[in-house]
Amino acid sequence: MNIQSNIPEIAVLRERVEARLGKRLTVHSDFLELVSIIEMEQRQHISETTIERVWGYSTRGYSTVSLRTLNVLATYATGEQWLEFCQHIYNNSDYESQLFNIERIATCDLEVEDRIEIGWMPNRRCIVRYVGNGKFIAEECHNSKMQPGDSFECREFAIGKELKMSKYSTIDQGSSTSQTYVVGIKNGLTILKIL
């Protein structure tokens, strides 16, 4: 069974693995070190290229990861299998909120046409495009009420914080609305990156 590698739960798992290891995985030697530790502690073999795919370090364009790989990493990080790990973070917001480094993207730092990927629990993910003056348009959406073409205003995105989108308008409603759409109410954003 393969699972999409860009879901928010995998972002949480990466944070937990790095917390257990005591450092961020940023170069090939970091992944080799993790492989060695997992083999020694768990008697499980997993290649460094497989782990690099989970971190997006591999340039081979893989978009999925196997359940076996997630089980090995979740067991290393928390002692739980992947599905237990996911259930635990869904049920315990205090536990989950400790997993994130504070990462922010301020609208004032963006250029028009910049694209941002955001994600939140459970398994929600959207890509939005900045059109200027604090306004965004959704381009790609997965498992979300937000749909391509929806628009909103926002001044800042932050990992671990809820996202409030003001002047939210669906493609059906047209441009004038005073609705506010809030995502990540319980656990905040789990994915945040400029593409």
Lowest mean pLDDT among 64-78, 144-158, 170-184: 170-184
Q: What are the DSSP calls for 159-191, one per residue? A: BTS-EEEEEEE-TTT-S---EEEEE-TTT-EEE
User: Quick one: average pLDDT of 162-190?
Assistant: 79
pLDDT over threshold 50, residue 99: no
pLDDT computed for residue 136 by the predictor: 95
In 10 A of CB 174, how many CB atoms? 9
Structural domain spans, the chain: 2-97, 104-194
pLDDT computed for residue 113 by the predictor: 94
Instruction: List helix spans (H) across the chain.
Output: 8-21, 28-42, 48-54, 67-78, 82-91, 93-97
- CA triplet 117, 119, 122: central angle to 5 degrees? 160
pLDDT computed for residue 114 by the predictor: 93
Which pTM value belongs to this model? 0.51
Look over the chain and give the mean of its residue pLDDT values, rounded to a whole number.
83
Binning pLDDT at 50, 70 and 90, where does residue 1 land? low
- CA triplet 108, 141, 119: central angle to 5 degrees? 60
Token duo for residue 72: 């090995």
Token duo for residue 15: 């944070």
The residues, ordered by sequence, that sit 6+ positions from 91 with a Cβ below 8 Å of its Cβ are none
Rounded CA gap, 107 and 95, in Å? 29
Reported as a single tens digit per residue, the pLDDT across 7-61 is 778 888 888 898 888 888 888 888 999 999 999 998 988 988 888 888 877 656 6
